[in-house]
A and B are shown apart, each in its own frame.
Chain A
Amino acid sequence: DAGITQSPRHKVTETGTPVTLRCHQTENHRYMYWYRQDPGHGLRLIHYSYGVKDTDKGEVSDGYSVSRSKTEDFLLTLESATSSQTSVYFCAISGPPGGGDNEQFFGPGTRLTVL
């Protein structure tokens, strides 16, 4: 496991509430990513970061924001949760040590349910 943890692992929330998911890594990887995985859609990139305070949008960024104030933490915020954001969220990392820039390793995931 590439030293990646996600919290919480499970969350149930109500429509309209803000939600923040945390990804924490311990091995000083440069790149961090947030994906969602839904049946029939596969893994889709939400946002990614290529350094502290450097982030960019992915394919499905609407309704999500991110922040990376230090190397080890990448936060994903659902500004006002909707039922369409019910999903499994995966964090991933890449960049040395131990791998190339593209070799991504995934965290354990967070299962989010929005009622």
Chain B
Amino acid sequence: QKEVEQNSGPLSVPEGAIASLNCTYSDRGSQSFFWYRQYSGKSPELIMFIYSNGDKEDGRFTAQLNKASQYVSLLIRDSQPSDSATYLCAVSSSGNTPLVFGKGTRLSVIA
């Protein structure tokens, strides 16, 4: 059974701080890694994806991947109250394999 683990939170950070969200996965053959943001009552929204070891930056978001440690993280710089949401980590082992989702981490940014 392929598993993706996330701390459920809530993770509380003050406005302007860096939020760090973490995810581990069990399938060492995983190739593709995704972060989704989900506001309460809404559908998941893709915000980042990463395929290679290292960092990938997009605006205030940085995804970090370490395949040797089976670990992927999402950093949100200059956190805003509008970043308050649940963040879902998802993993796929190949181009045609459905994603396996973690249960999500709830982030609360305090103004």
Contacts and interface: CB of A to CB of B under 8 A. Distances in A.
Size band of the interface chain A makes with B: 20 to 34
Contacts of B104: 42
A19 interface: no
B43 interface: yes
Contacts of A101: 95-96
A23 B45 CA distance: 17
Nearest to A43: B101
B103 A102 contact: no
A106 B95 contact: no
Interface in B21-55: 32, 34, 42-46, 49
A106 B43 CA distance: 6
Interface string A97-111: 000111111111100
A102 B43 contact: no
A33 interface: yes
Interface residues of B, number: 20
A32 to B, nearest CB: 11
B99 A42 contact: no
A45 B43 contact: no
A104 B47 CA distance: 11
Nearest to B97: A102
Contacts of A109: 42-43
Interface in B81-111: 88, 90, 92, 95-99, 101-104
Given A40-B103, A42-B103, A104 B43 contact: no
Nearest to B49: A103
A58 interface: yes
Interface of A: 31, 33, 40-45, 48, 50, 58, 90, 100-109
Interface of B: 32, 34, 42-46, 49, 88, 90, 92, 95-99, 101-104
A-B complex: 6 closest residue pairs judged by Cβ atoms? A42-B103, A106-B43, A43-B101, A101-B95, A102-B32, A102-B92
